[in-house]
Structure 1
């Protein structure tokens, strides 16, 4: 979703946000919307209800989806609980579920790929290293493979045999912290040597 406002957090106008075209064939949008008996200019019409559900499924964030149709949270929650809005309410829950699936996929990707962290020397970024979040890995393993990593009797902590077994399996696939630090020190030392050589010879370019 793209916002044309210079202060998107403050905007609720329908024109402040732009959403991709809604696929009319998406089963999520096939719900029976609430129909106002005497609709007003600011009523949340069936079209706006479907636009809200589409935005909610795309972002997983209720406030953002509400902004996309220019409706207040109060009005949406009030509409959701009206008699006759059962279809809208069910679609709301399904859209949240779809957003949560996307969030889970993002967390899994982050756990596998890690997060790039910069290495700064003398005020300049000279290298980077990949940090893997062990706690996130453990959580996802317990959720995805409970028969192997889950334990309903306790939440394993450092020192617990289950925790140590899982950590050992993870560490066997990724470099240790000392290996990462050694690699960083080697890169920094190499770059520092290039800087010193450049200063000595007057050459203004670093070697790749």
Structure 2
């Protein structure tokens, strides 16, 4: 069908031409000047879509063994399923939170938005990297029970060992005429739990492995009578 004569409009995924049907069509249509490829929005670095928009080259390497001539027209639409910075600023202004954490976006744009939120609203804003942990202090406290499994996980040590630098002579042990570097032991114990609030019950912290069992429990209302 893609080689059928006559004009047509084709919507194919993925939109970044990173593989799949859109890539197969691009291989056949890119060589013709009569064709137009429209890219909707942002394209991740390394994809064919990103290569087409960042460098107007006549040839594109699809992989280590495949290179094609790009003669078709290429156009990018300013489309995104996410809100823009103005929408985020309006939301922050409406909610007036004490802290804002940016978790999704391009690094340099997130850094710019972070500074904008802090300067305009005076709100502490964070843009953590992947797998980075952010600790936010709170003045609120909640009394909650804890399951036995969660408590046992808190008792599991997580020791890390660090050698003192050669400059820390005061923390070294002298043996004969030589300095023996000491080892510092730190317990970076962190427990992960799930805070569960059920109607009519006291809040409880459970281990993450217990949550699935709790969700699978089915509650039934028991009725008795003569039918």
Q: TM-score, normalised by structure 2?
A: 0.27
Q: TM-score, normalised by structure 1?
A: 0.29
Name which structure has the greater RCO, CA cutoff 8 Å, separation 6+. Answer: 1
Structure with greater helix percent: 1
| Bigger Rg, structure 1 or 2 | 2
